[in-house]
Structure 1
Amino acid sequence: MVKRVPGWLLRHRITVEAYAGDTAYGPSYDLPVCDVPALVDEAPRMVRGEDGREVLTATTVIAAPDLNCPPGSRITLPDGRTTTALTVARHTSPGLPVPANTVVSCE
């Protein structure tokens, strides 16, 4: 039975700077976590943001279920572009043969 998305499916490597909150000087981020295994899909999709608005995302990232990437986090993609996490969905299916994973929709 598959418990989490297999590592061999996560062909890309990204860098994640987890959003830590706002300060008087703007957004604050945790230290970068480099070489995070992920699958990057650059197909546009419509998603509903945290504020309820529908937004068009340019990139979707699929990673392990324990990925620390709250909305607002900065992600550096394999081609060097930096994007921002808009929504984060953690998928688990206890008892089913479906891999647990985290899906991050980015600007």
Structure 2
Amino acid sequence: MSRVPGWLLRHRITIEPYEGASSTDAVYGPPVEVRAFVAEQTRAVVSPGGEQVTSSSTAYAAPGTKVPPLSRVTLPSGRVTKVIACLPRDGGGLATPDHVEIQLQ
């Protein structure tokens, strides 16, 4: 298993994990800074609920990074967005870097 090399994770994003909803608003956990590679590209993706939605950017992080859907993410540009899905990408032993793909609104 080959991990994505750290030198490729050039950006830092701040993740506030979604913990649920209160009677007035969403509840988030404490912010955590994560090294990632951010690609701002619009594309269609499928949400965990099965709906086709538009993703405006994607962050790639080290394997094991856990980000619940609806978590709040601050990108290097300062833009704040929410997580659509967090997907593990495992090369299955091939010479491809294992990583986590974080699809963002």
Please, what TM-score do these two structures have when normalized by structure 2? 0.92
Q: Give 3-state SS (helix, strand or coil) of 1:100's partner.
A: strand
How many residue pairs were aligned? 105
Q: What is the RMSD computed on CA atoms of the aligned residues?
A: 1.2
Aligned residue for 1:104?
Answer: 102
Q: Partner amino acid for 2:63?
A: P
Q: Deviations over 1:44-84 (max 9, x none)?
A: 01001122111111011101112121111110000111000
Q: Give 3-state SS (helix, strand or coil) of 2:7's partner.
A: helix
**Unmatched 5+ residue regions in structure 2?**
none
Query: Percent identity between the aligned chains?
Result: 41
Aligned residue for 2:71?
Answer: 73
Return structure 1 stretches of 4+ with deviation > 4 angstroms: none
Question: For structure 1, which segment, 89-98 or 60-69, has the greater mean C-alpha deviation from structure 2 after superposition?
Answer: 89-98
Q: Give 3-state SS (helix, strand or coil) of 1:78's partner.
A: coil
Q: Deviations over 1:24-43 (max 9, x none)?
A: 23211110002x11010011
**Unmatched 5+ residue regions in structure 1?**
none
Q: Partner amino acid for 2:66?
A: N
Deviation at 1:3, TM superposition (A): 2.1
